[in-house]
Amino acid sequence: MKNFKLPTKKELACNMITTFVFLMSATIISYMIVLFGGFTNNVGMVYIMAVVLISRFSNGYIPGLVASFISIICVNYIFTYPYMEFKLTGIGYSITFITLLVISTITSATTTHLKQQNRILSEREKLLMEAEKETMRANLLRAISHDLRTPLTGIIGASSAYLDNETSMSEDEKTSLVSNIKEDANWLLNMVENLLSVTRIRDTGAHVTKQMEPLEEVVSEALQRFKKRLPNATVHVKVPDEMIMVPMDATLIEQVIINLLENAVYHSNSTEPICLSISVHDGYAWFDVSDQGIGLPSERLSTLFDGYTSLPNNSYDSHKGMGIGLSICKTIIAAHNGRITASNKEHGAVFTFTLPLGEDIYE
């Protein structure tokens, strides 16, 4: 009795309407069967189907049980000889009616129970999603506090050095300090863009507005934006020869590509070209960003996308923390129903993410 609660007026009205509509439909169908075919044996099955549908589209056990009882009355009174009279005597009739009542009741109870189980599972999934969002939010906050410290400290230190030693510094030293300030400021601007991307997804309930976009144009736009930030970086691109249309939010996917390319530049400890390779198979577009650097620490692979850099002194993180960028990549790709992974190859690291091709863009 602990889980029992009275239905609301709206639920009660819906239950009554649902029960009436399906029972009336079952009665009309049964009457048509008897009128044109003369087969009364199928009447019971029609009412059982009505009970199943009532249990499916109503709330609680009561509508199905009430429908079972009314179905027995209808079969007995309307479709059992002598018609329009209750026939409650006779072993055959009693067995038939009891069997129909038991089948209808069990069907109603089972259908309602399955529906409640599905509701419970759905609620659990929502709770797990909320818990995952909270974990991701906490990780992002930790990553922000960690990643903001390095560029802000660099900006403050460089600007202080410039102001304190302006008269005694050479032009090359001044240029170097201003360049460092500009680089850190650009990195902070990129972080703000990342955070705005996450906020945009969070405001829409982890759903994104997708449109069919030509894959080659999205990659080209991402590379142009990347080149403006890091003009000296070299990227080798491989794309399919045919035009590929992918359902996506182009701006967000461009942000993912830029984040992965920048990570490869900043954290690979290598000046060798980066490779961006796109392929299509198994109903997905596959994006691979690989470098020729030092690779990823094996102990970091399982938590790389959690948004928190647990090993701040690691050489892979020597420039700036990569945690927040990868966490945002994971958020964006998950909102597109894709996957993102990281692994090591013989020389360097590979980041791979996928986007489904055959997905309904309006869901």
Q: C-alpha distances in angstroms, 2 versus 33, 112, 164?
A: 45, 18, 73
- Residue 82, pLDDT score: 73
Residue 142 banded pLDDT, cuts 50, 70, 90:
low
Mean pLDDT along residues 3-22: 80
pLDDT at position 148 over 60: yes
Q: Give the pairing of strands 284-290 and 349-356.
A: antiparallel
Long-range contacts of 83-88 (CB under 8 A, 24+ apart): none
Residues of 42-57 as b/e, b for ≥16 C-beta within 10 angstroms?
ebbebbbebbbbbbeb
Other Cβ atoms less than 10 A from the Cβ of 313: the count is 7
Share of the chain above pLDDT 70, in %: 80
Q: Say yes or no to pLDDT of 363 above 60.
A: no
274-281 sheet: strands from edge to edge: 235-238, 274-281, 284-290, 349-356, 340-344
Q: Indicate the pTM of the whole model.
A: 0.53
The model's pLDDT over 183-235, given as tens digits with 9 standing for 90+, comes to: 788 777 777 776 776 666 655 555 677 889 999 999 999 998 888 878 889 99
Query: Over 50: is that where the pLDDT of 313 sits?
Result: no
Instruction: Choose between 87 and 155: higher pLDDT.
Output: 155
- Mean per-residue pLDDT for 103-120? 77
> What domains are defined for the chain?
9-126 (no CATH), 164-356 (3.30.565.10)
The pLDDT tens digits for 325-352 are 787 888 889 888 899 999 998 889 999 9
Residue type, 180: N
Cα(65)–Cα(232) distance, integer angstroms = 74
The mean pLDDT value of the chain amounts to 79
Answer yes or no: is pLDDT of 24 > 90.
yes
Asked if 32 and 79 touch (Cβ cutoff 8 Å), the reply is no
State pLDDT tens for residues 231-269. 889 999 999 989 899 999 888 898 899 889 988 888 888
What six digits make up the tokens of 24?
């009336």
- Report the alpha-carbon distance of residue 176 to residue 293 in Å, rounded: 26
**Helices (runs of H) and strands (runs of E) counted in the chain:** 8, 7
Q: What is the pLDDT of residues 36-94, one digit of tens each?
A: 876 677 787 888 888 888 877 887 778 877 887 888 788 878 887 777 777 666 555 56
Task: Tell how strand 274-281 and strand 235-238 pair up.
Answer: parallel
What 8-state DSSP symbol labels residue 300?
A: G
- DSSP of 182-251, one letter per residue? HHHHHHHHHHHHHHHHHHHHHHTTT----EEEEHHHHHHHHHHHHHHH-TT--EEEE--SS--EEEE-HH
